[in-house]
Amino acid sequence: MKLPLPPTQAGANHSVRGVNYSTSPLLASKTPPWRSRFLVLLVGAAFSLLVGRALYVQVLQAEFFQKQGEARYASTLHLPANRGRIMDRHGQILAISVNAPTLTVNPRQFKATADQKRELATLLRLNPRELDGKLNEDSAYAVLRRQLDDGVAQQIKAMKMKGLVFEPGYLRRYPESEAAAHVVGFTDIEDKGQEGIEYAFQRQLQGNAGSRGVVKDRLGRIVEDLGDAVDPRDGRDVELTIDSKVQALAYQRIRDAVIEHKAKAGSVVVLDAQSGEILALANYPSYVPGERKNLSGNQLRNRAITDVFEPGSTVKPFVVGRALEDGLVRPETVLDTHPFKVGPLTVNDGEHGHPALSVSQIIQKSSNVGTVRISQRMDARTMGELYQSLGFGQKPQIGFPGTATGRLRPWKSWLPVEKATMAYGYGLSASLLQIARAYTAIARDGEMAPITLIKGGEPLPAARVFKPETARTLREMMRGTVSKDGTAPLAQPVGYSAGGKTGTAAKQEGRGYNNNKHRAWFSGFAPIDNPRVVVAVMVDEPTGVYYGGLVAAPVFKVVVEQALRSLGEQPDLDVKPQLVAQVSDGAPARR
């Protein structure tokens, strides 16, 4: 007889044997309809979301995502254009671009021995710690050195270190260095002009950069080109009227004069007397265009065209020329040159004055009194229009940055004392370039030349200032300035006739003048009969001797001699052996 099992045991045996699903109360109950519909709805919503996202990516924002995708594997390499050359009138190079690649590195790929890293740091002029900082960057690209010298680049390539990449680039070279720095200027690290011709003709010189599309792998290596490359278009050359030989000579001579006289600065302008072409614009102090560290405005300034000053006695020939032209005087006319007063001003010639001088002697001796006497024979309008016709108060149109306008007050506002001082160059201001240009009116038979710095450019029309006979008379009178009885015998070139005018003026400070600071200059031309060059010289704040005839005139002499020889001009005077004597302290004042 079998005993009945306990209920718990019986349930356990039943679960083991199996369950009758058809009779299970849990499974037999019906699923609510909303549950199945909810599941279908969820699946449909998810599908719709995927379709919407695909539509957004593939259609609505396809261009954006295409670019984002390409950015992960494609890039555009910049192909720099070769900057145009700057040349002098004979094709001599003043500025040129040479190969100077940019050295970059992929720090993730870089491999080198300790010795190679030390040598690399030395070649790049980096300290080891600085180099390690660049090599340990968490990126696939780092710049080690821009505008690397091509010779150094070849040395680094020979080391065959992995991870280094040389990108094409150029470096600007300036063969004439300091001598032509103020004319040519320089470029920055991005090869954009910052000063001089480099800045003024930036658009013409820079050219157009090219590009090349490439595919890179995850390590930054180029594995494929994309499409056609766009070749760079090199910049156009700029040819100047500058003569590099004359420029170098002018710079050397003004540098020596500034150093010799312990002056603050100096400038020289050399013009072709007939065409008005600028043959030289030299200044000292100067700078090396390729070395831009620690440059100051004092070095960068092209003083010959940016600095203005009262021209002093250099304007006297123009006043005399107008009086000759209008028949107010003749070269042999004798005038009283005793000191006299104009309003509150006492006009005098200092301790070296004369009781009477002819008009020719007034130029030769640089008499303030005689010049004012002559100016009193003409009205303010005549004198004001004379200065205007010479270009004073007007910016020279040479296309050079920073060209100064100078100052010339309207003649209607002149007081008698102002008219008197303007006769000998006080009360107006001009640059050395403006003075040189004004002297072409005397050098080319009364027509003032339109000056230019760019070779082959269209010149402006010449301006008639004097009649041809007046200009020739002035040249003969100004020959006396460089004679032994004139104010500048040291300006007489060997083998060439010359004429000119000295200038010495105290510098204006505030409302007065500092009698301890002067500018000395000389402006003239050679040869006399048919001048080929006009040369203007200015020395700022010479110490000790400061007269134009002693400081600036010797510079004029040497520059004229060398410039005329360089231009192939034959001597028009017999060359005789000469003894050069030291000028004593008691020599006549050089005004």
Which of the residues are catalytic?
A: 313
Rg (CA), the chain: 41
For residues 380 and 420, is the Cβ–Cβ distance under 8 A?
no
Q: Rounded to 5 degrees, what angle do the CA atoms 316, 318, 321 make?
A: 115
Q: Which of 330, 342, 345, 434 is nearest to 387 (CA)?
A: 434
Which ranges of 390-431 does DSSP label H, i.e. alpha helix?
416-423
DSSP codes, 481-528: GGSTTSS-GGG--TTS--EEEEEEEEEEETTEEEEEEEEEEEEEEESS
Read off the tokens for 136.
Answer: 């340990």
Distance CA 437, CA 275 (A): 11
Distance CA 276, CA 556 (A): 18
Give the number of other Cβ atoms within 10 Å of residue 484's Cβ. 7
Which residue type occupies 13?
N
Cα→Cα distances 208→204, 226, 238, Å: 10, 20, 16
Q: Rounded to 5 degrees, what angle do the CA atoms 510, 407, 321 make?
A: 120
